[in-house]
Amino acid sequence: MRRLRALAALATVTALSGATLTACGGGTSTGGEGSNASPKTLTYWASNQGPNIAADKKILTPELKKFEQQTGIEVKLEVIPWSDLLNRILAATTSGQGPDVLNIGNTWSSSLQATGALLPWDAKNFKAIGGKDRFVDAALGSTGTEGKDPAAVPLYSLSYALYYNKAMFKEAGISKPPATWDDLVTVGKKLSKDGKWALGAEGSNLVNNIHQAFALGKQHGADFFDAQGRPTFTSDGAVSAVKQYVDFMAKDKIIAPGNAEYAQNQSLRDFAQGKTAMVLWQAAATTFEAQGMKPDDWGVAPVPVVSGKPGAERQVNSMVAGINLAVFKNTDNLDGARKFVKFMTSDAEQAHLNKAYGSIPPVTAAQKDAAFDRADTAVLRDTLRKSAAPLPQVPNESQFETSVGTAIKKLFADAAAGRPVTTESVKSELSKAQQQMPKS
């Protein structure tokens, strides 16, 4: 009897701890090329672009209805928060049970392309949506590994800009936004006083950390990956870039230590409440307005560079941010999915949707709309045109976001706790991150 009881208990342990293992189980669906078995419906996973999911539904639903009227295809919409999106895509990839059309972060293009789950956009598919040359080159640079057919089509484009609080600048006697990093630190020291701080950051947001480190990395001549796609996280340029970013808190003391634990856009809230004077962000206007700021309260300038003049190579000041539209290869409405992509990337829809989200159309013709000449969108558009570079399009890109993003998070935690952040400590964290990258 006792043995039986022990056996039962052991079985329970197996069951309980088996949960960890179970989580690793996956389907074996290989899913062939798509079909047209279900031509009347499409499932669309949209990423959360607006201030919240309800806002996205409100923006997208009338457009989807329009599409239904044109084609007779009903689109089932699901808006997915950013924090869940990659996991959901991964689960859909493994099980073969996913949407027909979906939004992906453009930096994931190459990683997701490697899974083989996404429909390649070859010449024929591009022709079905009006041709490749309708799109801006920089945006096409973030659609998959170089030399392969893109895994997705650009939908919304974004870039980083420096948002600054006009009143706080005026009060500190500063007449114009900083154009170089040296300026930013000088101005920052004037602004950081009386419980107010110069610059906002999201120290625990891995992806944001990567975006900042990447642009600074470009300015230090570092790419984080070599031409063969191998990680080079510990190159002098990469170390200097990461150190420069963390030093804004550790050495220059122009970022509040509390920002080390921010990961939910709290830095935007602080900016809107006048607690910080500047943030480096992609298209923040709608969020600021939603938090009670008036468009005249803030100014927009290009992200600082070393020389003060953004453009080409070392004067890169932003990653090419944006959202791509992809089709799951095993869709059972292949023609419908192509039609939907064509609809969403049409000139009219591009102008309409990008206006609604405050982003820039990756379709050249749609950029001509006057809405994109507004002060803030003009800065984003010019940055995209002149001084933005795509994140490395390598299959391990998503792991890079996590491992280096985590390293920067740890360094920010050190800075916040008053521990020294040195070239050695930065290099050591980046080296650990590099060694945790999977072989490929």
User: Rounded CA gap, 402 and 419, in Å?
Assistant: 23
101: left (phi over 0), alpha (psi -120 to 50) or beta: beta
Which of 26, 131, 274, 295 binds other proteins (CB under 8 A)? It is: 26
Q: How far is CA 426 from CA 90, 261, 405, in A?
A: 31, 18, 12
Query: Where in 381-400 is the site for other proteins (CB under 8 A)?
Result: 395, 398-399
Which of 41, 66, 77, 96 binds other proteins (CB under 8 A)? It is: 96
* Other C-beta atoms lying within 10 Å of the C-beta of residue 173: 7
Which of 38, 48, 94, 346 binds other proteins (CB under 8 A)? It is: 94
Which of 46, 114, 366, 379 binds other proteins (CB under 8 A)? It is: 114
Which of 4, 20, 133, 294 binds other proteins (CB under 8 A)? It is: 20
User: Rounded CA gap, 397 and 384, in Å?
Assistant: 21
Query: Where in 193-222 is the site for other proteins (CB under 8 A)?
Result: 203-204, 206
User: Rounded CA gap, 39 and 42, in Å?
Assistant: 8
DSSP, collapsed to helix, strand or coil, labels residue 256 as coil
Minimum distance of other proteins from residue 352's CB (angstroms): 34
Which of 52, 61, 87, 273 binds other proteins (CB under 8 A)? It is: 87
Residue 340 parent element (H or E)? helix 334-344
Q: Which is nearer to other proteins, 150 or 302 (CB)?
A: 150
What is the SS3 assignment for 342-408?
Answer: HHHCCHHHHHHHHHHHCCECCEHHHHHCHHHHCHHHHHHHHHHHHCEECCCCCCCHHHHHHHHHHHH
Minimum distance of other proteins from residue 171's CB (angstroms): 22
Q: How many residues bind other proteins (CB under 8 A)?
A: 64
Binding mask 408-437 for other proteins (x = CB under 8 A): -xx-xx--xx-------------xx--xxx
Which of 39, 120, 258, 311 binds other proteins (CB under 8 A)? It is: 258
User: Rounded CA gap, 218 and 241, in Å?
Assistant: 8
Contact between 29 and 95 (Cβ < 8 Å) = yes
Q: Which is nearer to other proteins, 70 or 440 (CB)?
A: 440
Binding site for other proteins (CB under 8 A): 2, 5-6, 9-10, 12-26, 28-31, 83, 87, 90, 93-94, 96, 111-112, 114-117, 203-204, 206, 258, 260-261, 263, 395, 398-399, 402-403, 405-406, 409-410, 412-413, 416-417, 431-432, 435-440
